[in-house]
Structure 1
């Protein structure tokens, strides 16, 4: 009798023990995830070093290229972890893509952009910020570039850890400046070039925000405000996608195909027009099929922007790979060239294996550490739906592509976040305008409407101020760290 009474108690204790064990397994799995990511990142850094070692061999002092390759791989990982949020955050925040799908698309497009069109901006980062003639000694120039890489990577790593979408372009430019000043004084910095880059930092978020706001205004005026919204969407959505596809095709021809065969400007334009026109025609039946059975209301229209949003996000990832790979491989290419030639050259050539480290490092970084900032950009600054997110992605892609074509290292972070803010501030302005019109007939409610508008901010001011503060501090912080790292390395070397 007693044994039968004890049996349920034993079973209850066993269930509790098993539950504790299950909770322990869950906790262990949760804790081990970051360790797995860090372990894979460390393996990639070591593989980058081994790649350099295999190319340079054991003789002729391979230590510098090997260490530089490791630092370049580390920087590429941090670029992927931080900047991927700018590419895929709007699409994920609008629920047009799942996190897994977004990362998969971004990995493919980042690699393609870096390998096909990443050389021009890399040369700007490597050779234009620091005037090569100001640092005649190759060993000093190499140490300066290594200090810049390490300092920029450390700063971006810290920013990613605290959840701040800082500019990796700003970080590496600040790092190069700080190391150059520590090595040869303020005269080492090519201030006109730095001034041009700094101007682009101011221009790029403003331009990105304006393009996003104007695109959203166009969509609202031509589609959302139309009496027959479905008919208007069938007319304009294929046009928008065609414009985007044409721009992408022309850019790919200019930066990728032009490396194989010489293409005249009119041929590039013809390719863009042809692809854009074909895409426009192809999207007409697609949009018509999607819109069948939809109600004539704004909520229905938003679903039609799913495909354009995915395409624009992929385009932005390609452009980001072309533009921001320079932040990792530019200094690395300069180090390799200086260590091989024994001198500081004016023209920097980027080897294929260096571009591969940058491309695959960015992809791995976004795969392992990107989701944190994707969620922040996509959901915590302002509320996004597929239509608004499409405007952000299109504006960011257009601006980044233009910058990469000009060889100007603008910040994709600035452009994308500027686009998000542009959409949010336009929504505030549009909501206020509509509210004022609604209250004109009742003057006694105008004061109440103004107070209501003040309370209903559609852009989170706390995030706005935090991001702007991070942007302001990035250059001096990375420059200071870089100068200190250079002085430390130089002291140890002697």
Structure 2
């Protein structure tokens, strides 16, 4: 146990002793009587995590499923693995932002607020934040609204702060100078406007690169297979660099130097490129050839087989809704988009799933914090006897429990399949979303990925 922790514990015990000696009401006797808050908060964290899965996880794999690159059951399995890995390896930074940089911790100091105005209020408030945000996500999912879980949880915390002590309890700007002051609510809200713009610009650049080096070539299929390992390597380099350079302190990666992080990332990326050239490109070529044969057989079979497939979908419980007005609008967008060799597009199917998996990993590192952070607050206060601390989650003992418990249910989500999205354009969307997530998460920026993947796909379609 650290000296600073012991010092805080001694100060807290001294406060209780002095309050009792003066005949004053003891502000916060013990957290034992608030075990029910921990239990209910844990259940609500599961509920909130389920809401994240139902509303947000689809962002990573919806394009892959919609493009027919992967079946729904495999998408759910990959999402489960990648979301869990992202939350465990890189979830600490954003969790710390959500739990410690929205409300001012001193407002919950019993030495300042007096009896019943201390950590117990923070615990109960965090519990209610999970309840309110989870209910909102449930309602939004029912009405098929792709809302932001980040907006939901941070908005709930701001509402709690306003109800408790007004606008003064909100940590609008943090201490420091320059950009360091934008780590409070103002910076979080600003990131919600900046991140879609950043995502759109990155999507344009990635798609222009893919279009130039692959899709507009005389032999785009050969170009796609040739440059495929490079795209695999780029995705791996981005993720590995931030795992090593900005990884969780529990894993001993926090003090990795910039040069070491770059070296390790490029080493792993080059190794991945070589492996993919020998292990993935040959079966990928066979996959495209088989897909071409299947398409020819499908054209020969006619529309009768398509109708039978639709009937089978309904028999197993998948409802297919058809909106004529929406379909016409979407069709016009796709008709206006530039058309490329469908075989070349299909070459991106595997790359699309690969980048979607990394996108899901990044989502686990960022958005799972929305369910973990309030419960981390509850549990850490209960565990420490009500001692308020702004220490990062990754440095205290409560984060492993929070990450493992909340993330497991995050994957009970839905993936929508609408107008088939060409694999090349869908790959650009998921690759861009991965990069945009990975750049923001180590900075502790609580972004939302709905505008990110939306802007990525909108610009990639053109």
TM-score range (shorter-chain normalised) is 0.7 to 0.9
1:352 aligns to what? 400
Match status 1:315 vs 2:376: no
1:260 deviation in Å?
3.1
Distance 1:243 1:352 in 2: 30
Distance 1:361 1:319 in 2: 17
Per-residue Cα deviation, 1:164-207 (whole angstroms, up to 9, x for no partner): 11100000000000001100110111112111111111122222
Residue 191 to residue 256, structure 1, CA distance change in 2 (3 Å): closer
Match status 1:125 vs 2:162: no
**Structure number with higher relative contact order (C-alpha < 8 Å, ≥ 6 residues apart):** 2
Match status 1:287 vs 2:275: no
Report the count of equivalent residues.
356
- 2:206 corresponds, among 207, 211, 215, to 215
**What TM-score do the two structures reach when normalised by structure 2?**
0.73
Q: Which runs of 5+ in 2 are unaligned?
A: 1-30, 110-117, 174-183, 293-339
Question: What is the 5 A alignment of 1:45-194?
Answer: 60-136=33-109, 137-192=118-173, 193-194=184-185
Distance 1:208 1:174 in 2: 23
Distance 1:353 1:322 in 2: 15
Choose 238-247 or 169-178, whichever is displaced more. 238-247
Residue 81 to residue 123, structure 1, CA distance change in 2 (3 Å): same
User: SS of 2:136's equivalent?
Assistant: helix
Distance 2:101 2:161 in 1: 12
CA RMSD of aligned residues (A): 2.2
User: SS of 1:62's equivalent?
Assistant: helix
2:216 aligns to what? 225
2:264 aligns to what? 271
- 2:238 corresponds, among 212, 232, 247, to 247
1:147 deviation in Å?
2.0
Q: Which runs of 5+ in 1 are unaligned?
A: 1-57, 428-494
User: SS of 1:346's equivalent?
Assistant: coil
Question: What is the 5 A alignment of 1:406-445?
Answer: 406-424=443-461, 427=462
Contact 2:32 2:382 in 1 (8 A): no
Contact 1:126 1:348 in 2 (8 A): no
Distance 1:346 1:258 in 2: 16
Match status 1:385 vs 2:422: yes
Contact 2:191 2:447 in 1 (8 A): yes
Distance 1:290 1:132 in 2: 54
Contact 1:208 1:419 in 2 (8 A): yes
Rg larger for: 1
Distance 1:189 1:60 in 2: 28
1:134 deviation in Å?
2.5
Distance 1:72 1:290 in 2: 41
1:202 aligns to what? 193
User: SS of 2:132's equivalent?
Assistant: helix
**What TM-score do the two structures reach when normalised by structure 1?**
0.68
1:356 deviation in Å?
1.4
Match status 1:306 vs 2:349: yes
Contact 1:395 1:419 in 2 (8 A): yes
Residue 290 to residue 147, structure 1, CA distance change in 2 (3 Å): closer
Contact 2:86 2:362 in 1 (8 A): yes
Contact 1:152 1:175 in 2 (8 A): yes
Contact 1:95 1:385 in 2 (8 A): no
Distance 2:441 2:404 in 1: 18
Distance 1:241 1:301 in 2: 16
Distance 1:63 1:152 in 2: 20
